[in-house]
Amino acid sequence: MAKLCSSSLVIIMLCCYWAASESLKYKDPKQPINIRIKDLLNRMTLAEKIGQMTQIERSVASADVMQKYFIGSILSGGGSVPAKEASPETWINMVNGFQNGSLATRLGIPMIYGIDAVHGNNNVFKATIFPHNVGLGVTRDPELIEKIGAATALEVRATGINYAFAPCIAVCRDPRWGRCFESYSEDPAIVRQMTQLIPGLQGDIPPNTRKGVPFVAGKEKVVACAKHFVGDGGTTKGINENNTVISPHGLFSIHMPAYYDSVLKGVATIMISYSSVNGAKMHADGHLITNFLKNTVKFRGFVISDWQGIDRLTDPPHANYTFSILRSVEAGLDMIMVPYNYTEFIDGLSYLVTNKFIPMSRIDDAVKRILRVKFVMGLFENPLADLTMAKHLGSHEHRELAREAVRKSLVLLKNGKTDTEPVLPLPKKSTKILVAGTHADDIGNQCGGWTIEWHGQSGNITVGTTILSAIKKTVDPKTEVVYQENPTPEFIKSNNFSYAIVVTGEYPYSETVGDNLNITIPEPGPTTITNVCGAVKCVVVLITGRPVVIEPYVSNMDGLVAAWLPGTEGQGVADVLYGDYGFTGKLARTWFKTVDQLPMNVGDPHYDPLYPFGFGITTEPVKSN
């Protein structure tokens, strides 16, 4: 009898469990997403909802923190890594450790992990680093950009991460801005073309998908993020995080169009800009975020703040955090990149909701959007990463794609002191050649900001091919290649060089650190150009995040190439210098004569550039030389 009772009890318990499982519609992938969202939302407490709206930095995260506070998302800030030169396995173990904390919560809602993969998975050692956007805009090749998006998605997934804060679709109207290298062009038409990175990262939206609904096509894709909404590239004098003074027509014809395209392509998230429009800070602009982006454009993904973006609603930042939480959440922000003081944020938002300063309907809207993205990307079905994707990090295929992107992003600005004596392509067979300049043998300088560290770093900081090593590999084995970073005129004259290549430019920077009212090449760059080009036939290869002051030196040069920030695959530069491929790039930015002309963009009445928008000398490849 006791055995019978015991058996009956087990059966009853199993029946109850099955009944409970069947009623958990949010865990059933066969249910429509809206049903899953509704079911899960109805089960959530206020604490669980606010947790979903909170994104914290990995350095303050732990499995216990995820479980205790129901945190919805983690990010790696620039240079924030689990260990120096961490392997994919180390990354994956870290991400899964945090995820296990989320899965151990009452409802088991998985977290989403974000990273600034803005030109490849650029925080990660050995990742393929693609050219920055300033170079990719030159290509005017959306298919290439989509392939780069797909490769980046694989390399991000290789480290167990599923959310990339890319693309930056700013329209940089003033190269004095320290983020201009993150912008594809001054021309909104080119920036719109380059939103093709989104289907590369996320996958192509299925036919007949409702406008504005986010889409992520499974485990080989990542959540994308169009940023920074809106007008960040138009600030006065290019000052980062500053004020964009513009008419409604200017805002909606220059800075907004790429957001329409991003939403139509199913972008899952949109990040808000630190900057202001006509004095109104974007992080508190309910008209543009809620009325326009959500209600008019019908964006159904989630809106995320920038790093401590809400803190900056007050001066000084964080002076009245409760006010900052109120204004930003009211305006329509769904997820807040806190990133450190998460208990203060959670307590503040809880107080505002409990005391009816923020309606529960606004919280529910935010959480629905976050859950929609998590369901769409299959996160509930596949919350944990494994090592199967690790093989994609820095793969040969991706490096070859990056090399192609480098070739197509180069712009030939000068080719010979006269039209009848072109200097490029260079001969592979010579007795002795000189390679000079601070950027010739430096991966970090080639890659620029947002590489391994937030601001980037000089030195061979990750795996790649420097331009010097690419030149040595490309020329005839009998050609002697002499490298001297900053040679004297006497040294040059005492050697019988056939020609010289000077590789110089800006040192790495990002964001406000890169703001520069003069935009000159730092020393010893100008001295190297003057010394070398005054003594021997020379080609100057500029490594910069924007057009720079170059007009005083051009007459001494035989050749001038804008290589922008090409990334790890310097072989792409040598491929074109030596004629294995032709120059095809056309400027996607106006090259000014003096900074006094700025801002100056194509179509302006005072347009008088050194090299106009769309300029670029083309060459044909040579079979052998």
- Three-state DSSP at 501 gives strand
pLDDT 10s digits, 25-77:
999 999 999 999 999 999 999 999 999 999 999 999 999 999 999 999 999 99
Query: What is the predicted pLDDT for the residue at 587?
Result: 99
* Strand arrangement, sheet containing 243-244: 243-244, 276-277, 280-281
Query: What is the predicted pLDDT for the residue at 523?
Result: 98
In this prediction, residues 520-533 reach a mean pLDDT of 98
Q: Which amino acid belongs to residue 380?
A: F
Better-scored residue on pLDDT, 9 or 529:
529
Distances, alpha carbon 552 to alpha carbons 254, 521, 529, in Å: 32, 12, 11
Distances, alpha carbon 577 to alpha carbons 221, 340, 593, in Å: 35, 47, 25
What's the pTM value of the predicted model, to 2 decimals?
A: 0.96
Active site positions, annotated? 306, 511
Q: Which amino acid belongs to residue 183?
A: S
In this prediction, residues 499-515 reach a mean pLDDT of 98
Domains 38-392 and 410-611 fall in the same CATH topology:
no
Domain boundaries, the chain: 38-392, 410-611
In whole numbers, what is the pLDDT of the chain averaged over residues? 96
Better-scored residue on pLDDT, 2 or 108:
108
Better-scored residue on pLDDT, 2 or 351:
351
Query: What is the predicted pLDDT for the residue at 4?
Result: 44
* Strand arrangement, sheet containing 480-484: 411-415, 559-562, 538-543, 500-505, 432-436, 480-484
Measured between alpha carbons, how far is 313 from 284 in angstroms, rounded to an integer? 7
Q: Does domain 410-611 have CATH number 3.40.50.150?
A: no
pLDDT 10s digits, 80-133:
999 999 999 999 999 999 999 999 999 999 999 999 999 999 999 999 999 999
Tokens at residue 100, please?
């296990």
Q: What is the torsion angle, in degrees rounded to the nearest 10, for the CA atoms of residue 407, residue 255, residue 196 and residue 124?
A: 70
- Domain 38-392, CATH among 3.40.50.2000, 3.10.129.10, 3.40.1130.10, 3.20.20.300: 3.20.20.300
Q: What percent of the chain has pLDDT over 70?
A: 96
**Taking 50 as the threshold, does the pLDDT of residue 3 lie above it?**
no
